[in-house]
Structures are given as C-alpha cells and as structure tokens.
A = this chain, B = another copy of it.
Amino acid sequence: MNDFLLIFKALADRNRLRIMAALLQYDELCACQLTELLGVAGATSSRHLAQLQNSGLIQGRKKGRWVFYSMVEELPYDFPLTWLQDKLLSTKDIVEDDKKRLATIMTESPENICRRQRGEEFGDAGEFKK
C-alpha cells in the first residue's frame, strides 16, 4: 500500500489532529489521557491512535498496563513537523479548548482518569451528546 497517502489519511480527521496537537505539547501521554481529552469511548480513541501509529507519525511505549504515546523522532518522508506544530497550535478551532483541558488532565494521575472513565462508561451527567 501507499505509505505517503497514509500520512494524509491519518491527519484528515479532527480528533486525530487533536491527538497530534496534544502530543506536540507534551512529550508523552497515555491512552487514557488522550481518551479523556477527546471525550470519546476508549475503543474509539484507541483506533485513532492505531491509525496514527500505522502512518508512522506517533509511537506507543508500553509501561505495565499503560501505553504512552509520543511523536516519532525519525518521521516518515521527512514530514515537516515544525510546520505542523506551528500551524496546529495556533489554529483556534482545533486546539484552543484542548489546551485548557490538557492542563487539567495533567494535574490528575492516569489512575484517577481511568477510574473516572470506568465509572462513566454508562450514563454520566448527561454530558454525553454526539
């Protein structure tokens, strides 16, 4: 298949761009933190992460039960990450709200995030529109 095309397909989704923006701000984030950021089901966020990983842009590092994701250092096709970072982080409608959400998420332990996600699997406080 076509690796070059995979890069654009990986970036052609709003939630995956949000993941990229998050990983461009923090060296490493675990799956549950990114799930919390996106506000989607864990399975959904996992699929997005798999697609980004498959494109060669991000990598996952397993540490016990957690998987920490980060940008790949040696990017495929010399992908211009600096440009992406510059534009992504200054594009309001994608990451502005996420910056605050991320800051909050980083103050919590992954354990607490995961615990809350488990608890919220069914009916949280109605904040589940989509």
Residues of A near any B CB (own CB < 8 A):
2, 4-5, 8-9, 11-14, 17, 77-78, 80, 83, 87-88, 91, 93-94
Contacts and interface: CB of A to CB of B under 8 A. Distances in A.
Query: How many identical subunits does the complex contain?
Result: 2
A91 B17 contact: no
Nearest to A87: B77
Nearest to A9: B12
B94 A5 contact: yes
Contacts of A80: 80, 83
Nearest to A2: B93
Contact of A14 (B5, B12, B17, B87): B5
Contacts of A77: 87
